[in-house]
Amino acid sequence: MSDVVTMDDLSNEEILSILDDSERLVPVAKGEVHLPLLEGKVLANMFYENSTRTRMSFETAMKRLGGSVLNFSSTGTSVAKGETLFDTMQMVDGYADIAVIRHPRQGAAQYSADAIGIPILNAGDGAGNHPTQTMLDLFTIREAHGTLEGLNVVLVGDLRYGRTVHSLSHALTRFGAKLTLVSPETLRMPDEIVTDLRSSGSEISETTELSDVIPEADVIYMTRIQKERFPDEDEYTKVAGIYMLNATDMDGSKDGMIVMHPLPRVGELHPSLDSTKNARYFQQAFNGVPTRMALLCRSLGVKIPKKVKK
Ligand code: NCD
């Protein structure tokens, strides 16, 4: 199947081959090489939730490969008149060759994939999964460390509602990473996910203290507290701003340790970090372009040449 709804849709072998494809596509992603592999193809960008990077990087990826994009959001369309997801997706099936969907409801991407024939890429379903983000995260980690295996990755913040860390933790344990989960008690990684991660044989530890685990980390992956998913604003206020990193927190960290964040940041990363050698979050956001190019090509059955000429 060519849908990507969770990381289970990709084998380890496929993940590595998509990362290799993405690496060769970097000059195309930068606009240095013209490679119209997706000429004549149409992507429907279906965003029922806010997005900056995911929407824009999919659009750039498609356009740099010669394709075109239909941009959809739930405001300004018939969703506001009460049209169902099922009905809207029937139109998309006829108007586009592939669709990217972001939706506040967990399960909405799978529901869409089941409802129509064109490939679906899940760009975030509520507090569920965000597999295309995971692909660019893995790309960023491999770019910095040369491997995905045996790393100590610290995941920090909202591990309960954060879909990026749900998909990423799953993928990392498949490559033998050791995970340290840092969150307030109320935002722990859901038990069923932790059980699943442990069943892979990986070492998983949990703590509420970020500063204790910085010296051992190869990667620190910060996340935003997902305000919009809290049933109660007071509960959000109790944990808002709980984890913050600044440049001096990098003292005593391992050589080559990188700080990542899917962004947007709302205080978790002090701007003093931006100019440190540890900061990788802006590079990480750029990496969305080559990895999404490779994912679009895979789902559309288009092979990426083994050599991309400069
Ligand atoms: C994330 C998301 O939408 O889940 N953003 C992204 O895609 N880069 C993280 C977030 O919103 O906090």
Using alpha carbons, select from 276, 250, 299, 238 the residue that is nearest to residue 101. 299
State the pLDDT confidence band at 75, using cuts at 50, 70 and 90: confident
Looking at the domain assignment, is residue 1 inside a domain? no
pTM for the full predicted model: 0.98
CA distance 296 to 66: 12
What's 139's domain CATH number? 3.40.50.1370
124 and 142, same domain (yes or no)? no
Strand partners, 179: 153, 204
pLDDT at 80: 86
What does the alpha-carbon distance between residue 250 and residue 279 come to, in Å, rounded to a whole number? 10
Distance 106 CA to ligand 1 centre (A): 14
Tell me the CA–centroid distance for residue 261 and ligand 1, in Å: 9
Share of the chain above pLDDT 90, in %: 95
305 Cα to the center of ligand 1, angstroms: 31
Task: Output the six-digit token pair for 108.
Answer: 């909405």
Residue 305 in any domain: the answer is no
Range of the domain at 114: 7-130+287-299
- Position with higher pLDDT, 230 vs 74: 230
CB 43 within 8 A of CB 296: yes
Residue found under tokens 């900061």? 279
Rounded distance, CA 290 to CA 30, Å? 9
Q: What is the mean pLDDT of residues 174-191?
A: 97
Residues 250, 143 within the same domain: yes
Say how many Å lie between the CA of residue 245 and the centre of ligand 1. 19
| Residues of the chain above pLDDT 70, percent | 100
Burial level of 289, CB count in 10 A (0-12/13-18/19+)? buried
Nearest to 121 by CA among 25, 40, 45, 66: 45
Same domain, 37 and 96: yes
pLDDT band at 76 (very low <50, low <70, confident <90, very high): confident
* Same-domain check for residues 11 and 126: yes
Give the position of tokens 């083994």. Answer: 306
| Whether the CB of 163 sits within 6 Å of ligand 1 | yes
Distance between CA atoms of 27 and 65, rounded to whole angstroms? 11
Q: What is the pLDDT of residues 188-234, one digit of tens each?
A: 999 999 999 999 899 999 999 999 999 999 999 999 999 999 999 99
**Is the previous residue joined to 264 through a cis bond, with omega within 30 degrees of 0?**
yes
Determine whether the shortest distance from the Cβ of 133 to ligand 1 is under 6 A: yes
pLDDT averaged over every residue in the chain: 97
Q: C-alpha distances in angstroms, 103 versus 32, 60, 121, 145, 163?
A: 33, 21, 12, 33, 12
- Shared-domain flag, residues 247 and 142: yes
Check: CB of residue 171 under 8 Å from CB of residue 237: no
Q: Which residue has the tokens 């990077």?
A: 53
Residue 310 placed within a domain: no
Q: Which range among 183-192, 196-205, 263-272 shows the weakest confidence by mean pLDDT?
A: 196-205
Total structural domains within the chain: 2
Which ranges of the chain would DSSP assign to H, the alpha helix?
Answer: 12-29, 53-64, 85-95, 108-115, 131-145, 163-174, 191-199, 210-213, 233-239, 281-286, 288-299
DSSP 3-state of 17? helix
Residue 13 in any domain: the answer is: yes
Contact 229 CB / ligand 1 (< 6 Å): no
Written as one string, the DSSP assignment of 114-132 is: HH-SS-EEEEEETTS--HH
Same domain, 38 and 55: yes
Residues 55 and 180 in one domain: no
Distance 163 CA to ligand 1 centre (A): 8
- How far is ligand 1, taken at its centre, from the CA of residue 262, in Å? 6
Does 218 fall in a domain? yes
- 134 Cβ inside 6 Å of ligand 1: no
Q: pLDDT tens digits, residue range 88-116?
A: 999 999 999 999 999 999 999 999 999 99
Position 74 in a domain: yes
Mutation choice for ligand 1 from 51, 125, 164, 269, CB with most ligand atoms inside 8 A: 164
Give, to the nearest 10 degrees, the angle between helix 131-145 and helix 288-299.
120
Do 259 and 145 sit in the same domain of this protein?
yes
Minimal-distance CA residue to ligand 1 atom 7: 54
Mean pLDDT, residues 31-51 taken together: 97
Q: Does 130 contact ligand 1 (Cβ within 6 A)?
A: yes
Average pLDDT for 286-294: 98
Amino acid at 55: R
CA of 34 relative to ligand 1 center, distance in Å: 30
Q: 137 and 267: one domain?
A: yes
The reply to whether 11 and 116 lie within a common domain is yes
pLDDT over 70 at 1, yes or no:
no
CB of 53 sitting under 6 A from ligand 1: yes
* Judgement on whether residues 165 and 274 belong to the same structural domain of the protein: yes
Tell me the per-residue pLDDT of 109-145, one tens digit each, with 9 for 90 and over.
Answer: 999 999 999 999 999 999 999 999 999 999 999 999 9
